[in-house]
Structure 1
Amino acid sequence: MQDFTNENLDLSLLPTYETVALHQLNKKYWKVILLNIAVFMFFLGMAIYLLCYLLKLTFAESYLLIGGYVMIGILLVTIYKVSMKKRGFAIREKDLIYKSGIISISTSIVPFNRIQHITLNEGVFSRLFHLAALHIFTAGGLSGNIVIPGLDIELAHTIKQELSRQLNQQAHHESSRDTDGK
């Protein structure tokens, strides 16, 4: 019989994730973001035009709507530009780190043994620039899932293959442990 122990850990000896060098998203991803903003702004502009037309507003009367439209465009570009600089990821021996956010910085650290499956998504605009998004689904549910956008397609495939290899290796290890234990 073993004696149960549950000693306190010296917190100063724990490794810190803040010191990990994160890889930035591919710079071409900024073009994808701009295209997405342009599509959104096009439809917003059409809705504003339709509103002005239906209400029979003159240019002077619709000045406030047009000003708001311009401000929304500037705000979106600024927010996404800052967001782009704050995002990063790293793959370590036993886990994956993803950091994002502007005002509230979110850092997700997902151990490989929590990953359920991985998918690769190439959006219409991303495909134009040979980029993809890696979707990592975890056992933690929706809050634990991670999407890393703006990866070079070859790098995304390589990461997916490595994570899949880790998952297969882990599944093999667990199945052999279950077989040995019975």
Structure 2
Amino acid sequence: MENFTNETIDTTQLPKFEEVQFTALHPNYWIVTLINLLIFFLILGTGVGMALFFNEQLSEFRFGIIIVFIVLMLLIVLFSRISFRKKGFAFRTHDVLFRSGIIASNTVVIPYNRVQHVALHEGFISRYFGLAKIEIFTAGGSSSDIEIPGIEKEQAENIKQLLMGKIQKQL
């Protein structure tokens, strides 16, 4: 019979993910984000405009509604920019990291031995700029655990091959 041991781990000696050098998303991904926001605002603005034009009860509030719409647009663009600048990814010997967040920073760390599936996606606008998104799936979920957007397509394909190689080694 084996002797059971349960030694205390010195947590000060563990590697710190906060010290990892993260790779920023490709600068063109900001343009993709702006184009997507523009499309969203055009659709939303058309709906608001039609409501203001056809609804007589809103006529006295038109100016206020337009000001609120513009302020919300600017806030969404500002927060999108902050979010874009805070996102980053890193691949280490044993795991992949993805950092995001606007107000609070969120870092997801997935060991390679947990990766079950990897997908590469190109959106219509992203494809025009030569960008792709990597989705990393672990066991026990139908949605991806990490989505890393704004990666050059060739680099995204290399990352996918790296991860697929790590999955093959586990089998």
> What letter matches 2:50 in structure 1?
L
2:62 & 2:21 partners in 1: Cα distance?
A: 49
Residues 32-78 of structure 1 show CA distances to partners (whole Å, capped at 9, x for unaligned) of 00001000100111011110122136876411111111111101110
Matched, 1:36 2:33: no
| Matched-pair identity in % | 38
Shift of the 17–142 alpha-carbon distance from structure 1 to 2, 3 Å rule, reads: farther
Aligned 8 A contact 2:123 2:132 in 1: yes
Aligned 8 A contact 1:114 1:140 in 2: no
Name the residue aligned to 1:180.
none
**Stretch deviating more after TM superposition (44-53 or 60-69):** 60-69
Name the residue aligned to 2:161.
161
SS in 2 for 1:110: strand
Matched, 1:135 2:121: no
> What letter matches 2:66 in structure 1?
I
Shift of the 18–57 alpha-carbon distance from structure 1 to 2, 3 Å rule, reads: same
Shift of the 116–66 alpha-carbon distance from structure 1 to 2, 3 Å rule, reads: same
SS in 2 for 1:62: helix
> What letter matches 1:20 in structure 2?
V
Alpha-carbon deviation of 1:105?
Answer: 1.3
> What letter matches 1:130 in structure 2?
G
2:7 & 2:98 partners in 1: Cα distance?
A: 31
2:53 & 2:152 partners in 1: Cα distance?
A: 44
Aligned 8 A contact 1:119 1:136 in 2: yes
Alpha-carbon deviation of 1:139?
Answer: 1.5
**Displaced runs of 4+ in structure 1, greater than 2 A?**
56-61, 140-144
TM-score, normalization by structure 1: 0.89
The unaligned stretches of length 5 or more in structure 2 are none
List aligned pairs for 1:91-170, cutoff 5 A: 91-141=91-141, 145-170=145-170
> What letter matches 1:28 in structure 2?
N
Shift of the 16–142 alpha-carbon distance from structure 1 to 2, 3 Å rule, reads: farther
**What's the RMSD between the two structures over aligned residues?**
1.6
SS in 2 for 1:66: helix
Of structures 1 and 2, the larger Rg is shown by: 1
TM-score, normalization by structure 2: 0.94
List aligned pairs for 1:1-80, cutoff 5 A: 1-56=1-56, 61-80=61-80
